[in-house]
Amino acid sequence: MIKAFALGVSNGRPLRLILLGLSRRNCNLLLEGRPIKVTLTDLSPDSPIHELLIMGGETEEEMMKELQSHVGPETEVTVTGVAPPGRDA
C-alpha cells in the first residue's frame, strides 16, 4: 500500500489530499473480508479524522454487516452512496 499526504495549491485552490494506493494483494485481502485500517493522523497530525477503514465485499449488504463489527452501539454512522442491489454506487 502507498500512503501519501499532499498540501499545497492546485488550479488556484488549496489542496489537502490523502492518497492511498492499493496493491492487488491489498484488494484480494479486502475481498476476503480483511479490512485495512489507516491512521490518518500519521499522515497529517492535525487531521480531524483519526482513522480510515477501507472495506471490500461482494455486495453492499455484506459490507454493511462488516461495518457493524467495527463500531460500537453508541457510534453514530452516516452511510451515503449505497447503490440498490445489483448496481454500483
**Residue 66 burial (CB count, 10 A):** 16
Lowest mean pLDDT among 15-19, 50-54, 59-63, 80-84: 80-84
pLDDT, tens digit, for every residue of 16-54?
888 899 999 999 999 888 899 988 888 787 878 788 889
Domain assignments of the chain as residue spans, ordered by start: 24-70
pTM summary value: 0.67
Q: How far apart are CA 57 and CA 63, in angstroms?
A: 6
DSSP code of residue 84: P
The dihedral built from the CA positions of residue 20, 23, 28 and 34, taken in this order, carries a sign that is negative
CA dihedral in degrees (70, 78, 46, 43; nearest 10)? 50
pLDDT, tens digit, for every residue of 5-14?
888 998 999 9
